[in-house]
Amino acid sequence: MCGRFVSASPPDEIARYFDAAAPEALLEPSYNVAPTNDVYAVLSDGGVRRVDAFHWGLVPAWAKDPKVGSRMINARAETLATKNAFKPALKRRRCLIPADGFYEWKKLPDAKRKQPYFVHRPDGEPFAFAGLWEVWRGPKDAEGNRTGEPLRSCTIITTDANAVMSEVHDRMPVILPPAAWDDWLDPDNDDLDTLGKLLVPAPPGVTELTAVSTQVNSVRNKGAELIEPASPDELVS
């Protein structure tokens, strides 16, 4: 799964990297993005890519309460086409979620706490997580009208872990290479079989693990020190 990640790159750099228009809504950099936080996502609109801000935790259009999004931060690649919460978005509303890395925790023998790891690219470039997005317009009132402001939300698609990630967890985000971005983002591409073939574990060489301190366990901590390698006395034992 993916329950925490890093989004600290400036929005203009994200836009350049993904050849997209920069976002209008600017978010604070965070080295500890948590569920229900706002995040950047890249989508295609009329053939033009743009970066927008979304609520992390997908809220289906039919939901009665947006709180359901807290349970939909991830979507399993194997069941996207059959789950009512994700099937409509899979057909038309796909996105990329930029990340400078993400965190995973490993259970150690005889240890009371899990050891956190920062997962990143060896070359320092960002990941492009495969994602889905939705717009929730609130429940209907007695006259059948939608109430409240529209809420744009997203989820990160996960798949089986690659050889590197399997050391700490059996799942990982789907990381799409640049060659797959156009096909994934194209809202007119409804070939689910072809799209499904993109949702596979990333090559092991794309991921590297760095043990970090347990400071990342608290969502209140957001600073760059969280991705620094843990000193010997900071390692879980």
Quick check: is 154 catalytic? no
Can you tell me the distance from the alpha carbon of 150 to that of 218, in angstroms, rounded to the nearest whole number?
A: 30
- Strand, coil or helix: what is 140? strand
- The DSSP secondary structure of 23-51, one letter per residue, reads PSS----EEEE-TTSEEEEEEEETTEEEE
Q: Cα–Cα distances in Å, from 48 out to 9, 18, 175, 229?
A: 21, 11, 21, 39
Is 68 strand, coil or helix? helix
Q: Which of 2, 95, 134, 154 is an active site residue?
A: 2
CA distance 232 to 141: 58
Contact 58, 153 (CB under 8 A): yes
Contact 132, 94 (CB under 8 A): yes
**Catalytic-role residue among 13, 78, 95, 104:** 104
Which residues have a catalytic role annotated? 2, 104
